[in-house]
Amino acid sequence: MKKFLFVLLVLSGLQHKTSSAPLVEFTVVPGWATTGLLEGKVHNTTLYDHGIAVYIYIAEAGGWWIKPTSSEPLTVIQTDSSFSANIVTGGMDQYATQIIAFLIPLSFSPPILLGEELPVSLFAYPYATTCRPHGSRTLSWSGFEWTVKTSVGANLLPLGPGPNIFSDNDTMVWVDNLQRLHLRIAKHGNAWYCSELICNSSLGFNHYSFDVDGRVDLLDPNVIAGIFTWDDCSLMDHPPNNYFREIDFEFSRWGDPLNKNSQFVIQPYDITGNCNRFNMDLTGLSHSVHEFTWHPDSVVFKSTWGNSSYSWKYTNHTYIPSPGNENVRINLWLYYGRPPTDLMNAELILNSFITDIEKPAAMSREVRIFPNPVEQGCRIEIQSDRAKDMDVCIIDLRGCLIRKVYSGRLTPGLNSIEWDGLTTHSQPAQPGFYLVCLSDKYEIRYFKIIKL
């Protein structure tokens, strides 16, 4: 599966962009741990009185840093509306995981940030953002490309969660000849190393299912196995998303052998009703299945092992995240970085990861979308067994409405609905991933389409 770089273009204060609004875009983003230039273009603005203020976020260096340097805080916009910025000018700059560029008037002095938070005042200006996974080694598993997280620096600086030292060594994270994924905690020398894997695709509202091998109910009290969504780019949301679009399965006793061994979580976990703990007993079983379905108005969790299962439906709209640039992540780590109480290495094995929208819509007996990928428009054919009211919308992976293409009553049999490839404001939809959202009084279903 191809690795896609998702770049989020944001216009401050606007839900829908128009062709006359100033905007910034990235055309070249250098890879993590490389030293290439950040390149981009601006649109719909005067060039002689504007510049670009670039900031990068480095977890190991404590926050946001202005680039290229504090003495040279602005990047010039060229006469062809392009710009290029050197974002690696010292320290650990090449390990930045978030990058943001603001289009600002020359009369505005950009804040000189040296490991601090982004001030709210900057978000009055148009900006572009992107994120890079914290690692350079990639592998393929269950139809997706993944990046293996790694600690960096001369002394291998710890990272969250934990904090812990993470290794991308192929003895720590690998896929075996049965296509099972392995993550390990292991001691090398005097240090304990942990593992984390980051999916390179952002999947949004979806059904996520993980088949986990072995006895995750018997993990050491200081060992935590996590399967979750996470959005590094939430640091650049405005207003900020402080909970990183995090939805969790976690298998751990959190340092106390008397605790229950499993939990479902919507962050923040310390809000009453956001964490649901339970016990699994996998005696005599070879695997367990853990799944959640993420809707705009609910997150439905379910764990199944043998003839037993545990379910939870979360409906507090205040904390249900909207999609953004979140990725599925899988990790195996140590509580507060403490060694396992038994001082033994640990391992997490997953048999598979399955999502609904990765199944081509054309394979559905009830819904067919063609052409897909879409160049200009497409036809949505819905086979209905009865008359029913339905809304058919095109939304992006952030959950924002692009176009409502139908609202009415379906007739029994074949119903054909057209999308002309335009937004609500009659502008061509930008290239990228979209979802066709079918909703009636009983359910909401999503089908992935690609706009070329």
Are 221 and 242 spatial neighbours (Cβ–Cβ below 8 Å)?
no
Phi and psi of 389, rounded to 5°? Answer: -80, 140
Report yes or no on 3 lying in a domain. Answer: no
- Contacts by residues 228-231 (CB-CB < 8 Å, ≥ 24 positions apart): 228/328, 228/329, 229/294, 229/321, 229/326, 229/327, 229/328, 229/329, 230/326, 230/327, 230/329, 231/131, 231/321, 231/324, 231/325, 231/326, 231/327
Pair 295, 339 in one domain: yes
Report yes or no on 2 lying in a domain. Answer: no
Pair 147, 236 in one domain: yes
Q: What's the pLDDT score for residue 114?
A: 97
List the CATH number of the domain containing 112: 2.60.40
Question: Domain boundary at 355, 374, 399, which?
Answer: 355
* Dihedral of alpha carbons 30, 25, 397, 387, sign: negative
Pair 66, 170 in one domain: no
Listed residue (47, 21, 220, 208) closest to 126, CA to CA = 21
List the CATH number of the domain containing 315: 2.60.120.200
Pair 123, 173 in one domain: no
Report yes or no on 86 lying in a domain. Answer: yes
Give the strand pairing for 137-141 and 173-175.
unpaired
Pair 335, 368 in one domain: no
Pair 48, 153 in one domain: no
Listed residue (15, 57, 42) closest to 104, CA to CA = 42
Pair 366, 351 in one domain: no
Residue 380 CB coordination number (10 Å)? 23
Pair 123, 158 in one domain: no
Question: Domain boundary at 334, 355, 376, which?
Answer: 355
Range of the domain at 64: 8-131
What separation in angstroms does the CA of 15 have from each of 68, 236, 295?
31, 16, 21
Amino acid identity at 185:
I
Q: What's the pLDDT score for residue 4?
A: 33
The pTM of the full predicted model, rounded to 2 decimals, is: 0.77
Question: Domain boundary at 355, 375, 392, which?
Answer: 355
Pair 248, 120 in one domain: no
Sheet holding 63-67, edge to edge: 8-10, 127-131, 98-105, 50-58, 63-67, 114-116
List the CATH number of the domain containing 432: 2.60.40.4070
Give the strand pairing for 191-199 and 165-166.
parallel
Give the pLDDT of the chain (452 residues) as one tens digit per residue: 333 333 333 333 333 333 468 999 999 999 999 999 999 999 999 999 999 999 999 999 999 999 999 999 999 999 999 999 999 999 999 999 999 999 999 999 999 999 999 999 999 999 999 999 999 999 999 888 999 999 998 889 999 999 999 999 999 999 999 899 999 999 999 999 999 999 998 888 889 999 999 999 999 999 999 999 999 999 888 878 889 999 999 999 999 999 999 999 999 999 999 999 999 999 999 999 999 999 989 999 999 999 999 999 999 999 999 888 899 999 999 999 999 999 999 999 999 998 875 443 433 568 888 888 888 899 999 988 888 889 999 998 767 789 999 999 998 888 999 999 999 888 899 887 788 988 887 777 888 888 87
Q: What's the pLDDT score for residue 355?
A: 87
Angle at 321 between CA 62 and CA 206, to 5 degrees: 120
Are 210 and 329 spatial neighbours (Cβ–Cβ below 8 Å)?
no
Please compute, for residue 402, the number of CA atoms within 13 A of its CA located in the half-sphere on the CB side: 26
What separation in angstroms does the CA of 189 have from each of 149, 170, 264?
20, 17, 35
Q: How many residues does the chain have?
A: 452
Domain tally for the chain? 3
3-class SS at 438? Answer: strand
Q: What's the pLDDT score for residue 8?
A: 39
Pair 289, 344 in one domain: yes
